[in-house]
Amino acid sequence: MEFIIDKVKREDFDEIVKIYEQGIKTGISTFQTKSPTYEAWDEGHIKECRLVARSGDRVLGWATLAKIFQRPVYDGLLELSLYIAEDARGKKVGQTLLNALIEESEKHGIWSIQSLIIKENKASIALHEKCGFRHVGYWEKAGKMSHDNLWYDVVIMERRSTII
């Protein structure tokens, strides 16, 4: 599968939402039950690190970073969102996109990327490990899923920059 890594454009948002909704349907990618509006999504992610994997006019996946804390001392400690289209999973799209986001984040002085992954999402955990993330803890029964009303644990993974 051929693709390039590119910066997110406003017109990518409809495809970003479709991919996000595919993640919601897995039941192990997010606790959210609906997609955000563009305004909420735009406000929730820093402007500097927004990437897509693109094949022609099609978005195959996207990755962004969001502030975890509002205090400026933590501006280099951010949370990752990474979603890959169903038919692009297992084809190195996620790994290429995540590695590109890591590189881009370091250009902007970000020294730590955190990822909160539902424990059952083994593929995402394995991808993060391949890209240099380590397990730093977990939250027991962090949230309930609406589809089965069960509690799920969240694995906390971190990648610390070796150059910042």
DSSP bridge pairs for 82: 63
Tell me the percentage of the chain whose pLDDT exceeds 70: 100
Task: Name which of 20-29, 67-76, 126-135 the model is least confident about.
Answer: 67-76
The residues, any chain, with a CB within 8 Å of residue 69's CB and separated by 6 or more, are: 77
Fold of 4-160: Aminopeptidase (3.40.630)
Q: What is the pLDDT of residues 87-141, one digit of tens each?
A: 999 999 999 999 999 999 999 999 999 999 999 999 999 999 999 999 999 999 9
Query: Band of the pLDDT at 146, cuts 50, 70, 90?
Result: confident
Rounded to the nearest 10 degrees, what angle do helices 122-130 and 93-107 cross at?
Answer: 50
Give the containing element (helix H, strand E) for 4: strand 4-7
* 105 burial type by CB count under 10 A (0-12 exposed, 13-18 middle, 19+ buried): buried
Of residues 76, 92, 86, the one with CA closest to residue 5 = 92
Whether the per-residue pLDDT at 75 is higher than 90: the answer is no
Name the pTM for this structure.
0.95
* 94 burial type by CB count under 10 A (0-12 exposed, 13-18 middle, 19+ buried): buried
How far is Cα 65 from Cα 101, in angstroms, rounded to an integer?
Answer: 9
DSSP state of 35: P
CB atoms within 10 A of CB 163: 6
pLDDT at 147: 87
